Structure 1
């Protein structure tokens, strides 16, 4: 019996000594998601409007009532289920693979009862000074406008649902790639976009082969006219991404989904197309 206890003690000592040597790095501040402060009340509803439909809502506690509007899935309605509850958090995931973090407190003020999160993101982009690139946010928008006026030199096109989705050109400046895309609608029904996603994937080598996906975050998404395409019309947009290249085993997939519809457009771009990128040397920032 004593011998067994001695063996157990030695094993515990070795495990403890091993664990004591493991160093756990603290979480970097830059890795923390900022929390948007919002308030909800007992006698009024707080409305959050997102750029894409809401697919998941996680509440810190049950004193917050949350409802996704059935006819407008990008609209989240919040209300207090108890008066003067303790401040908590809320996480929302949208269809464009974005996670939003909110700090929710109780307040009967109507000052912030309707918030357009899509507009909030746009304002954040305008105030953003890109850390890893030499292109300021204002010049980023001006470059996007210049790309919209460029003549097309690529012809990567996909036709679906009486729609034509095509890549007309790729341009580079100061570590960024600008993709010029055109959407043509050959039906009477207007096309209203819900989300635009860029993803790098492995090409399938076999029928049951697994495919790895790497989503890319757009730094700019700029339509020539208001977002969408009217019936029997067309529209052009520019998307800016950090510079990258692709091997022969990978491809870029561009997916433009329709809001409240199934005309989801997909376009595949090869690595050789990326290498045809042209320089932008004539774009100069405006001076006042």
Structure 2
């Protein structure tokens, strides 16, 4: 009995020693993790001009701290991110970017009506460097989705005359509206037919049309987790929408069906104005994309108005 008690005492003592050592190791590890800080780069943006960030590798994920900034990957380019203020004089927010080479970049974003520099080449090696102003042409990575412009215009023209197959996906505010009326599938591309309406007397000047994947349910006071989608071509957004009129926009993007807990968000921002529109598209709507083919009758995009709804 005495030997058994001694063995048990030794066993408990060994176990206590192990727990103590583990606790010290865990505490040391915890301390190391929390004392490692990443350097943040400072970025100033305005609502009047676009700031371009050129990364050394393709952008795979973008996270902005608030909706006060507009972010979008440049069309047909993998490593260029465009940033602009959605409103004047916003409170400081943040922006983080992950690239295909596994690097993480963090920016503190502030408003400045007149930024000194509008194009930066982000240096991956100089972690403590704020940013490098672009003084010479920088290499860009062309998207695999980029293709012949004439062919894409023919495809957009075909989508413009297709009958409507999407309903009840719209945002109507400030006497303006953004609605998705058609979603078509051609090979590996989705074609979005959008109608922008303006029932006011004030012309609506389009600043930017954006596409991104977001959580279907956004938790308050959390950063906006989103993935930007890069249009291969957008036709119709370069012209203003006059008062009491409508305009059709055709956007071509790589085909992508998202998970049920996500949604596609289409945003339309007004230039020098606050009539910004946002349309959330659930997965079930994306699955309604109708296959189309280019017909010989369609050779070019017709006058881009909302006649074909």
TM-score (norm. length: structure 1): 0.54
Q: Give the Cα–Cα distance (whole angstroms) in 1 for the partners of residues 224 and 84 of structure 2.
A: 26
1:31 has 2:60 as partner:
no
Superimposed CA distance per residue, residues 59-113 of structure 1 (whole angstroms, 9 cap, x where no aligned partner):
xxxxxxxxxx97xx8xx999xxxxxxxxxx95289xxxxxx984359xxxxxxxx
Q: Give the Cα–Cα distance (whole angstroms) in 1 for the partners of residues 119 and 266 of structure 2.
A: 30
1:248 has 2:260 as partner:
yes
Task: Identify if the C-alpha distance between structure 1 residues 259 and 92 changes in structure 2 by more than 3 Å, giving closer, same or farther.
Answer: farther
Task: Identify if the C-alpha distance between structure 1 residues 132 and 230 changes in structure 2 by more than 3 Å, giving closer, same or farther.
Answer: closer
Taking the TM superposition and a 5 Å limit, the aligned residue runs for 1:76-225 are 90-91=119-120, 102-104=134-136, 131-132=144-145, 136-155=148-167, 156-204=169-217, 206-208=219-221, 211-223=224-236
Superimposed CA distance per residue, residues 11-39 of structure 1 (whole angstroms, 9 cap, x where no aligned partner):
xxxxxxxxxxxxxxxxxx98389xxxxxx
Secondary structure, aligned partner of 2:151: helix
Secondary structure, aligned partner of 1:167: strand
- Gaps spanning 5+ residues in structure 2: where? 1-54, 60-81, 86-111, 123-131, 300-309
Name the structure 2 match of 1:281. Answer: 293
Name the structure 2 match of 1:265. Answer: 277
Residue pair 1:172, 1:178 contacting (<8 A) in 2 also: yes
Secondary structure, aligned partner of 1:145: helix
| Greater relative contact order (Cα < 8 A, sep 6+) | 2
- Gaps spanning 5+ residues in structure 1: where? 1-28, 34-51, 56-68, 79-88, 94-99, 106-123
Residue pair 1:203, 1:211 contacting (<8 A) in 2 also: no
Q: Give the Cα–Cα distance (whole angstroms) in 2 for the partners of residues 273 and 32 of structure 1.
A: 29
**Cα offset, 1:250, TM superposition:** 0.4
**Cα offset, 1:192, TM superposition:** 0.2
Superimposed CA distance per residue, residues 126-172 of structure 1 (whole angstroms, 9 cap, x where no aligned partner):
xx8x7358x63321111112211222121112111011210001111
Q: Give the Cα–Cα distance (whole angstroms) in 2 for the partners of residues 175 and 257 of structure 1.
A: 28
What is the number of equivalent residue pairs in this alignment? 185
Residue pair 1:202, 1:251 contacting (<8 A) in 2 also: yes
**Cα offset, 1:228, TM superposition:** 1.9
Task: Identify if the C-alpha distance between structure 1 residues 139 and 162 changes in structure 2 by more than 3 Å, giving closer, same or farther.
Answer: same
